[in-house]
Amino acid sequence: MQHVSKMTPIFAAFLVLALSACGDNETNIYAQDVAEPGHEDHDHEGEHDHDESTSAARLLLVAEGSRQVHIFAADDGDEVAELNLPVPVDYVYPVPGYRYAAFVHRDDNWVSFVDGGVWVEDHGDHDHPYAEAPAIMDFTLDGVRPTHFTLADDGAAVFYDGNGETGDAAGVATFSDATIADNGLENTLQFSTNMHGAAQLRGEHLLATERDAATSSTLPAAVGLYHLHDGLYEHELTFAEPCPGLHGSAQNEDFILFGCEDGVLIIDESSDFSASKIANADDFTDGMRVGTLRAHHHVEQAVAIASGQFYLADPAAAQLQPLGVSLPDGVSAVSYEFVLGGEAFAILQSDGELVVLDAHDWSEQTRVSVLQNPEADSLKLIVQPDGHMAYVLDSAAEQVIPVDLEDGELAQAWSLSFAPAAGVWLGSATEEHDHDH
């Protein structure tokens, strides 16, 4: 693989690069953005306005079933580059640090990684953003049916489901951004049977699902605790508290949560990884169960989704309670994430409404009508994790609509030449918010 070195602005202004990468990977760089931004003279001994944000960010977008990655500047929608991965993309996720993106090729048993090319250096009295050409990384993961991808403060975990028909067992790989940069070795855990499971990384520990091979369901019913030794995770214990039909997991500062048929399994790291169960809410009807969880490091409660309805999983109160989100008849939530550095929770509805909830009291903070009568299943939400921007992907109209989550304003839509089905925000931003809570 050929990596692109940093170019001067003059050189970049006249050059368009077509780079060959591994195999038939192809990289097309549009040089007007491949430079070091912000290199005008700074008075480093003077005062810096810390109320304004310093940011460098890009959106990486793919069309459904495509292997082509389109990379755009997040501030104005200018296309920076196109990368051709070896096989079509199923899912895309950020890697902690938000310099790299993981592209999951589930049907091809492969995970590839792209350097978005933007990062920030600490210059003491200010942060300085840089931008380089995006690049496909040498680091890759291979395992049978990579599916669930989970983030932690210091790394990420990929859970491979395996394949019962071929006798391939499930497994887990964990890594950090440094692993990707150095093309290093991932840490691994191998099971003895297949399962549709999940794993959460906690420092040198890993919490991963476990399944009895004699059961007919591919869903696990237990969680195990593992400890890292020389690149391999060794089993320490299986938690006595069961989690039948386990699906969905998340973590915050103190707790790791797993969705179960009968509630939410809570693992308390601060109490030596003790386990307890939050029972399903009283209004759960037959067949309802928590299947998706969202959590944030700075938020005590987690958001649990059961049959399209939103609940708060509160470990301290040991209860599930309705979140109070009311969706109109025939309207569903298509994307939802914590935003504004955990200060809020955003829900994109299928009718084009974007609702932002205050994560302190869970009241409605902002409501934005992004689109009127969008086509069914055409919308997806990408968020800037610690900043104030969100981006609505409208595949039917082949466009991206930027939304400022703080003031609820829409920016000019970006017109695309393809239907964006998935994407990820990469970059870095430092902002000072005035929050009165």
DSSP string, 142-183: E-SSEEEEEEETTEEEEEE--BTTTTBPPEEEEE-HHHHHHT
pLDDT of residue 19: 33
Burial class (CB in 10 A: 0-12, 13-18, 19+), 41: exposed
Residue length, the chain? Answer: 437
Helix/strand/coil for 12: helix
Burial class (CB in 10 A: 0-12, 13-18, 19+), 379: buried
- C-alpha to C-alpha distance for 19 and 27, rounded to whole angstroms: 5
387 CB neighbour count, 10 Å cutoff = 24
pLDDT of residue 128: 77
Beta-sheet strands, E only, within 307-378: 309-314, 319-322, 333-339, 344-349, 353-358, 364-369
Residues 6+ apart with CB under 8 A from 417: 398
Tokens of 109: 């048993």
pLDDT of residue 289: 95
Q: Which residues share a beta bridge with 120?
A: 129
Tokens of 200: 């959460």
CB 405 within 8 A of CB 356: yes
Closest CA to 225 of 216, 217, 234, 212: 234
Q: Tell me the CB-side half-sphere exposure of residue 281, using CA atoms within 13 A.
A: 21
Handedness of CA 279, 283, 286, 289 (dihedral sign): negative
pTM listed for this prediction:
0.86
Mean pLDDT by 10 residues, the chain (437 residues): 35 32 51 44 40 67 95 95 96 95 97 94 80 95 97 96 97 97 97 97 98 95 98 98 97 97 96 96 94 96 96 95 93 96 96 96 96 94 93 97 95 97 86 45
142 CB neighbour count, 10 Å cutoff = 13
Task: Look at strands 420-430 and 68-73 and give their pairing.
Answer: unpaired
CB 189 within 8 A of CB 199: yes
Helix/strand/coil for 325: coil
Q: Which helix (H) or strand (E) element contains residue 379? A: strand 379-383
Q: Which helix (H) or strand (E) element contains residue 14? A: helix 9-14
pLDDT of residue 227: 98
CB 364 within 8 A of CB 386: no
Closest CA to 322 of 290, 300, 350, 287: 290
- Cα 206 to chain center, whole Å? 19
Closest CA to 241 of 262, 269, 216: 262
φ and ψ at residue 72, rounded to 5 degrees: -125, 150
Nearest-Å Rg of the Cα atoms of the chain is: 22
Residue entry with tokens 């079509």: 88
